[in-house]
Structure 1
Amino acid sequence: MPPFLDGQSSVNVTLFFTPGGILSLDSINQIFMFTGPFTLIWTDLSLAWNKSLHDVHVISIDPTPIWIPEIFLLNAEGNTRISLPSHPSVYVTHNGTVVMVMRDKFRTICVTDAFDFPFDEQNCELNLIPVEAFVNLSATLTRNPVLSSILMKKSEWVLKNVTNKNIYIDGFEIKSVTLTLKRQSLFYVLSIIIPMALTSIMNAFVFILPADSGEKVSFLVSIFVSHAVFLNFVYDIMPRTSTRVPKIMIYLICILLQSFLSLLAVITTLRIRNNKVQGDHKRVSTVVDQTVGDCSTGMSKMKDRLHNLDSQKLDSILFVVSLFIAILNTIVLIT
């Protein structure tokens, strides 16, 4: 039997929510799991007593025989009803105030936007509504910095802010609590961004390698393969339902494109150099038949120096351009 007060057709219930620990935020499946006590407070005069006759102010009771408000968590993953834990804490004061504390793990649906990954912030909502229409629910947020710092110490996410608002849909009032979470990005910076930035800069150094070493193409192919591995790793941790393509994916694609263009430039310059060398050898051999051997040898060395000078100049220009592109891509990603 609902504990209606005299002359009232509704029961006022106050809900206190204290964010505890963030267990996980699965960006792929869009599932947010957290812990935190929900405290419900209402008045039931049938449970009141005269404290002057009994020197007792607060008692703990079994919640089975009394009326308890039921709350729906609308965006819960699975069962939307906030069910009572096996051993809820229910306390009653002498004036009939009932306080029930429910501690449990909760799973909700949280649509994430990974555009700024791994420097992103996510807003996860808890939409609460009473089951009975006569329940007048009011939600209040409380924060315990000490508890949050202990429980969130080993979490990937940090609770940045908590806000609440009322949403009205078809005459129903929904209490919406928004938790703003910020990702701790140090792990991803050290394991993904820094290695990718270094390999991106290494693309430019292929133009410093001597052409006669024969390692330019194999060097670029090795870098290209490492970028493909990183792209596959990032793809596995990105949500499939993101409304925007993450910047880190665009960054990886730009690096792959840079590697491809560097490989194309190296192959082209090597081809042009080899054609010039072959042409010079033919001309030098013709001159050798018509002139003195010492003069032909000097002419051959002079032409080789001129061609090497042209190749070094072109490689220097390509090195500067490639290095500038690599640094620019990294700056755009982290800003």
Structure 2
Amino acid sequence: MALSYSWFDEKLRWNPADFEGRFKTEIDVTKIWRPALKLVSPSQKSERLDKEYDMAIVSATGQVTIMVNDIFYSSCAVKITYFPFDTQQCEIWLANPEYGKLLTFTPTSMEMDTSFFLDNPIWEVVKTSLKVVPTSYNFNFVCGIQIERRATFYTLNLLTPILILMVLNSMVFVLPAESGERVGFSVTLLLSVAVYMTIISDKLPNSSKPSPILAYVLVAYLGQSALICIKTILSLRMFYRDENIPVLF
């Protein structure tokens, strides 16, 4: 993640004419005052965004700008109810806990600059946002990002095979009862669904709250396949029933 933030420091102003027209310079961040920005919702240890090896760009007007290029680990709630057609909304909260409400933020844009984002084969960035959220003790700078899962892989490898099995399972009643293949056909499809669910269990998100609707659909289809197998056995039992045995009501 690349992040830049700036502020004005009156003590760092100078007249460019007194320094051979030099308007900008670079200073080690450890030698000047800078706000201690930290992640409010880190997934690991909370640390300052700027590091000791970063450099600050200072202009003659007193404007100080720090460019931060690093990997930040933040946590956010994930909703997988509509997996694999889910959309996630994640927010990265930044704050300065040292100064509280004495320090506020002013975003220069309402959206994040995504020109440096690398294309991801699993997720696609749909929308970004930048805003300031006040709390009782400070101001939080919130970077929001909305990502959408690319569902082509899951459609071809998860949904298409199960749809084919559903169609084949319903064709068991088309087979003539005299062929003797109904029970074997229905049992084979029941085992196919059971084996298929075992294979794709690693592809489904491991979450119980909430659970993806696709998991319930697969369990329902497994029950439906078992019910078709039972109906097939009962229908053949009635078809080959001895006509001399009276029917009891």
Look at both structures and tell me which one has the larger radius of gyration over its CA atoms: 1
Partner residue of 1:129? 95
- Kindly indicate whether the alpha-carbon contact (under 8 Å) linking 2:7 and 2:65 is maintained by their aligned counterparts in 1: yes
2:184 and 2:226 map into 1 onto residues whose CA distance is 13
Per-residue deviation at 1:213? 3.4
In structure 2, stretches of 5+ residues that fail to align are: none
Q: After superposition, where does 1:256-275 map in structure 2 within 5 Å?
A: 256-275=222-241
Residues 271-302 of structure 1: CA deviation (Å, up to 9, x unaligned): 111214xx47x9xxxxxxxxxxxxxxxxxxxx
Q: Say if 2:207 is the partner of 1:240.
A: yes
Q: Say if 2:218 is the partner of 1:249.
A: no
Partner residue of 1:225? 191
Q: After superposition, where does 1:18-29 map in structure 2 within 5 Å?
A: none
- Residue 50 (structure 1) aligned to one of 6, 12, 15: 15
Partner residue of 1:305? none
Q: Say if 2:107 is the partner of 1:173.
A: no
AA in 2 matched with 1:274:
Y
In structure 1, stretches of 5+ residues that fail to align are: 1-35, 283-335
Per-residue deviation at 1:199? 0.6
Per-residue deviation at 1:86? 6.1
Residues 309-331 of structure 1: CA deviation (Å, up to 9, x unaligned): xxxxxxxxxxxxxxxxxxxxxxx
Partner residue of 1:198? 164
**Number of aligned residues:** 240
Residues 74-105 of structure 1: CA deviation (Å, up to 9, x unaligned): 11101223343464242111112111010111
2:141 and 2:162 map into 1 onto residues whose CA distance is 44
Change (3 A) 1:90 1:223: farther
Calculate percent identity across the aligned residue pairs: 25
2:196 and 2:51 map into 1 onto residues whose CA distance is 44
- Kindly indicate whether the alpha-carbon contact (under 8 Å) linking 2:29 and 2:53 is maintained by their aligned counterparts in 1: no
2:135 and 2:113 map into 1 onto residues whose CA distance is 32
The structure that is helix-richer by fraction is 1
2:192 and 2:53 map into 1 onto residues whose CA distance is 53
1:271 and 1:171 map into 2 onto residues whose CA distance is 75
- Kindly indicate whether the alpha-carbon contact (under 8 Å) linking 1:114 and 1:239 is maintained by their aligned counterparts in 2: no
- Kindly indicate whether the alpha-carbon contact (under 8 Å) linking 1:91 and 1:100 is maintained by their aligned counterparts in 2: yes
- Secondary structure of residue in 1 paired with 2:5: strand
AA in 2 matched with 1:255:
Y
Per-residue deviation at 1:196? 0.8
Partner residue of 1:138? 106
- Kindly indicate whether the alpha-carbon contact (under 8 Å) linking 2:57 and 2:65 is maintained by their aligned counterparts in 1: yes
RMSD of aligned residue pairs (Cα, Å): 2.3
2:152 and 2:213 map into 1 onto residues whose CA distance is 17
1:241 and 1:82 map into 2 onto residues whose CA distance is 34
Q: After superposition, where does 1:104-115 map in structure 2 within 5 Å?
A: 104-115=70-81
1:165 and 1:211 map into 2 onto residues whose CA distance is 68
- Secondary structure of residue in 2 paired with 1:256: helix
Per-residue deviation at 1:145? 4.6
Q: Post-superposition, which runs of at least 4 consecutive aligned residues in structure 1 deviate over 6 A?
A: none
TM-score normalised over the length of structure 1: 0.65
TM-score normalised over the length of structure 2: 0.86
- Kindly indicate whether the alpha-carbon contact (under 8 Å) linking 1:48 and 1:95 is maintained by their aligned counterparts in 2: yes
